[in-house]
Amino acid sequence: MSLLVVGSVAFDALESPYGKVERTIGGAATYFAVAASFFAPVSLVAVVGDDFTKKDEEVFRGRHIDTAGLERAAGKSFFWAGRYSENLNERVTLATELNVFADFKPKLPEKYRTSKYVFLANIAPDLQHDVLKQVQGKPKLAALDTMNYWIERTPAELRETLKHVDILMINDSETRQLSNEHNLLRAARHIFKLGPKTLVVKRGEYGAMMVDSKGVFCVPAFPLEEPHDPTGAGDSFAGGFMGYLAGAGTVSDATLRRAMVFGSVLGSFTVEKFGLDRLRTLKRTEIHARARHFAKLTQFQL
Ligand code: AMP
């Protein structure tokens, strides 16, 4: 089943203790689409500027990613710069330039309108809502990611958009910021009142936690000896998670739990190298081998 995503397609400048890149392709929708396309066909909605070349667009080629909804506008592409601390756990945003996203009015290609799985990746909440409204009927599953930038600047729009999604998938500090609750279970209860019935909290090296009416499910992060760059790990997690569900075609407790593992698998590959470098060469066989490794990692008897 096809999976629709709207979110940023960007150029990033990245700094971590392992190195520095001045300009590389990034963006939440980019990481998401590449990660999800290992499991299901992806329909991409975003805008890029005239600085985004045909060569840059090759990141989407040879994969199951439809770019009919990738608009080109005069001006510069979204730009984001970030720097990571020594232990890679903290990051400061050095620059966020919306550029062509500031005036973007997405118009979904006709063939995207029947999408049953929708992911509203990190971008302005009113844009996310606009895309969701253009989907015919109620999708089988709609999930949303956001970040401090939007929680602080557009709280009313975010609250409105949240009313229409099934899953909120954000990191731990954003969960606390949005709910004003430090404890993640209390935060989940707060978030359920805003609309979503399921909360997935991405916790970096501590893995991920899913909370819904059935209870709590946790997966670890894959232990890596040499992580290099966490940029896009959250979006790759979301891509693995939603891609797996769209590929499975059913949303049940069992498929949601497996989706958590495939999310963690994709996130773990992304941090192994800078930017999209690791996802670009990733093979399906490696994904499945690591998923089996996860099963071993968490197996025990009582
Ligand atoms: P993550 O590391 O998963 O939080 O995502 C990093 C990606 O999100 C980068 O490639 C950025 O281009 C993109 N990004 C950063 N800030 C924003 C924002 N305010 N809105 C949309 N995308 C963003």
DSSP output for 94-120: EEEE-GGGGG------GGGTT-SEEEE
Q: Which helix (H) or strand (E) holds 257?
A: helix 253-270
DSSP letter assigned to residue 123: S
User: CA–CA distance from 46 to each of 66, 78, 98, 156, 270 (Å)?
Assistant: 12, 10, 12, 22, 21
Question: Splitting the chain (302 residues) into consecutive groups of 10 residues, what average pLDDT does each group show?
Answer: 95 93 97 98 98 96 97 98 89 96 95 97 97 96 97 98 98 96 97 98 96 96 93 98 98 97 98 96 98 95 94
Q: Atom 12 in ligand 1: which residue has the minimum CA distance?
A: 27
Measured CA to CA, the distance from residue 64 to residue 39 in angstroms comes to: 9
Identify the three-state secondary structure at position 184.
helix
CA of 171, closest atom in ligand 1: 4
For a substitution probing ligand 1, which of 5, 6, 8 has the most ligand atoms within 8 Å of its CB? 8
- Looking at residue 163, its pLDDT comes to 98
What is the pTM (predicted TM-score) of this model?
A: 0.97
Pocket of ligand 1 (CB under 6 A): 8, 10, 12, 26-28, 80, 96, 122-123, 147, 149, 231-235
Structural tokens at position 263: 């999310």
- 266 CB burial (10 A radius; 0-12, 13-18, 19+): buried
- Looking at residue 1, its pLDDT comes to 78
